[in-house]
Chains A and B, each alone.
Chain A
């Protein structure tokens, strides 16, 4: 039996997803369920003067309408924020249904209960709400002035200021003695995550015993269960949370949402099943958004362009309230603003401010794309100043292979890395020399089709997270993951994991790990997940943690099963444990080829327990909870090639190469798939996507007509390769890859855009690089 880890095994999940057999929340058949319709504030900031439910109650099929006041007694606590980043952080009480005042369009002000999907929609449309509009705070810098304070109880729009300045004097000295300095201001526009499955929730009260089953389209059934208990007062052991098939999350389903709490509260109040499915247009305001930062980054460098200090100040948009991990998102990037470069002095400060907009929170990469963007754009600016190529400036500054493990200036220990080979290979894949020549030729010939080539080398910290590090960041939970591996009497295996897949192919990867460890066919392995009754302990899926934390837990549990099986095998075959070898799924007595027992037979012996050693318990079922000693630090280099039409400002992404290193790969098919999707999400930030709000705080592009999620027609295929630098911190040598593509791609594309426009003297372009924006910049440049 040859090992499967490292080979492109086709996914076990696919047949049910390809045939329509998979069940997402909205697919569940729930007898007697009432459909909920959310009445959302049409004003970004307003007092709610009155709510008239009468017209809604007259709609056929509408049974009840609840306002915020009606539901106030349903909450044991306000909605949770699990990351109080500072002791004095302002966290205004946030109720699932607003009482008295609405703070963003999308804030729920009333809930309609109806017998059908259509009646719920009609009812929500019919509720009459009178608003007394207040001035809306939309712009982040305006919010920071406290011209209008959104939350009276806080007294300011600033939620917190968090700083990481290990050695202030060193930073000052570096800037004082710098030959080159770069000062840049970048805007991380707000993004709408747009998981293809809108959110949904269904709550089914059990007829006897008071238990409640909550089905939710969530990345975090385990965390959600705890938070539902805390916020509704339902005892935790009375709750079972199930995430059925989940259609993508990208961080947006790493949250505890008002609708989940409302569905639970109303199911309890009325003792009926309740359900709600989000509309896409509703999703744009009701589901957390990503990014939303203004970044100031300064580099100090010597005459050769060797960076001596990085100083960063951020203003981060929290939105109207703090959701589950809102304040912590910018801080996930706080440690990475020096990127892949060996920088001795470091300073970071972030202020989070409230605005009258949808709350921000995790979105693929969460803090790390922003950090990577800033340093990777700034180093291109430095290259221009020093007068060297954008490849050369990077080579001069990379942390060198012999510096690993690398004690970073921000206080992290980078586990392993070798950055320059990824650059070399990416440049080779894209044909860098040829492209530079073509670019020069086009420029010389006066072509109006401008070629731009952009490089980005990234490193990220992922595999969230060592619990003690989380404690130091004031995060309210641990970062471990739990796993159980058990053999059933007939030799089949079950893997129980606290990781919660929503597209990542965990069932395949976990089966591969156990197949190799225990010599069992992957089709004989079942993975149980995403249901707190089947998998009671878990920390779920986000932060590229599933393999490097959850997978490692599984690997360790499988090893424990094997260790116990070895003891039983030795006993059964009357051999010494040391004389046993485990080959092709069976224990063999070295030198006695006829004496062998397959692991399936040992599973049966463990089950019957007729003949076990004295101190050995029946059954083969072992559990491990693994708390990683460190993050993992995947890295890579991405190169983007764009062509800009000077006449229209249109940008086309014409070629793209990425060389990534996530250590050992379990399933290269899944790794490349994660990269493809991640790259496109990052490219989309660069070229197409932005949640645009007007001065009144109205989202102007809530539909997928106006919010430009790209299709296949706008994109090329990608040239991928990888290097392998195993992580020394875990026995699998693996690192995360779920967010890497998004982290590497945005700066590569924007560096390419700026490179293309450099003949016009253009040195920065705001995102997204829309044709209108580029055309305007070119016009300005031409008239300068």
Chain B
């Protein structure tokens, strides 16, 4: 089946099997490998991207479902070589170690802030319930998201 998906503002088009997962469309068809696959069950959130402006787990969306939609991946977050404020906050707060969960974590966090859901530490912890990290113990991720949210307000 023919699908057209805008990925990071660039139109892409391909013939795909209906069963092709959006994450594999992004990785294998479009060739953007920043979005990672960490599980099979929508549990870990490593594959989180934005579909039409909202965070979704791209391992649990078919490419055909995203047909006509607009996808933003981690590669589309930085502009003109400048890290997005959330990326910058993760760096400044040491919110990443091995980096594998990081693209999904950052995309989930950006969505939380954009939806105005970050009010305090608890809201960040609850809001990231669908993203697993094995390295950081979340301590610095939470700090980073709070810092980025604070920055977004001012």
- Give the interface of A toward B (CB within 8 A): 8, 10-11, 13-15, 17-24, 26-27, 29, 117-118, 194-198, 245-248, 250, 277, 279-281, 502-505, 669-670, 672-673, 675-681, 703-705, 709, 711-713, 715, 717-718, 741
Contacts and interface: CB of A to CB of B under 8 A. Distances in A.
A502 to B, nearest CB: 6
A703 B136 contact: no
Nearest to A20: B34
A662 to B, nearest CB: 16
Contacts of B96: 14, 17-18
A741 B139 CA distance: 13
A279 B75 contact: no
Given A29-B31, A247-B36, A247-B100, A680 B138 contact: yes
Nearest to A709: B132
B142 A717 contact: yes
A14 B121 contact: no
A197 B38 contact: yes
B90 A18 contact: yes
B91 A11 contact: yes
B38 A198 contact: yes
Interface in B62-89: 73-75, 77-78, 83, 87
B97 A26 contact: no
Overall SS of chain A's interface? loop
Closest 9 CB pairs of A and B: A20-B34, A247-B100, A17-B99, A503-B98, A676-B137, A27-B33, A704-B43, A680-B137, A503-B97
Contacts of B136: 673, 676-677
Among B99, B103, B135, chain A packs the most CB atoms within 10 A around the CB of B99
Contacts of A277: 37
A196 B87 CA distance: 19
Contacts of B90: 14, 18
Contact of B100 (A197, A281, A677): A197
Contacts of B103: 18, 20
A676 B77 CA distance: 27
A117 B40 CA distance: 14
A197 B36 contact: yes
B129 A712 contact: yes
B117 interface: no
15 contacts: A10-B94, A13-B99, A19-B75, A24-B100, A197-B98, A245-B100, A248-B98, A281-B41, A503-B98, A673-B140, A681-B134, A681-B137, A712-B128, A712-B133, A712-B138
Contacts, number: 185
A457 to B, nearest CB: 20
B133 to A, nearest CB: 7
Contact of A19 (B24, B28, B74, B124): B74
Among B19, B36, B128, B141, chain A packs the most CB atoms within 10 A around the CB of B36
Interface string B92-132: 10101111111100100000000000000100111011111
B44 interface: yes
Among B31, B83, B100, chain A packs the most CB atoms within 10 A around the CB of B100
B: contact size bracket: 35 or more
A671 B141 CA distance: 15
Given A503-B97, A504-B97, 19 more contacts: A19-B78, A21-B34, A118-B19, A196-B38, A196-B44, A245-B99, A247-B36, A277-B37, A505-B97, A673-B136, A676-B140, A680-B138, A703-B40, A704-B41, A712-B128, A712-B138, A715-B137, A718-B139, A741-B137
B142 A677 contact: no
A718 B142 CA distance: 11
A703 B83 CA distance: 34
Contacts of B17: 118
Contacts of B74: 18-20
Interface of B: 17, 19-20, 24, 27-28, 31-41, 43-44, 46, 73-75, 77-78, 83, 87, 90-92, 94, 96-103, 106, 121, 124-126, 128-143
B97 A711 contact: no
A350 to B, nearest CB: 28
B91 A196 contact: no
A676 B139 CA distance: 7
Contacts of B102: 17-18
Contact of B39 (A681, A703, A717): A703
Contacts of A20: 32-35, 73-75, 103
B83 to A, nearest CB: 6
A195 B98 CA distance: 9
Given A15-B91, A20-B32, A705-B43, A718 B132 contact: no
A503 B138 CA distance: 14
A511 B121 CA distance: 34
B132 to A, nearest CB: 5
A669 B94 CA distance: 7
B42 to A, nearest CB: 8
B142 to A, nearest CB: 6
Nearest to B35: A20
Contacts of B40: 279-281, 703
B24 to A, nearest CB: 7
Nearest to B45: A711
B34 A711 contact: no
Contacts of B92: 10
B34 to A, nearest CB: 2
B41 A503 contact: no
A711 B134 contact: no
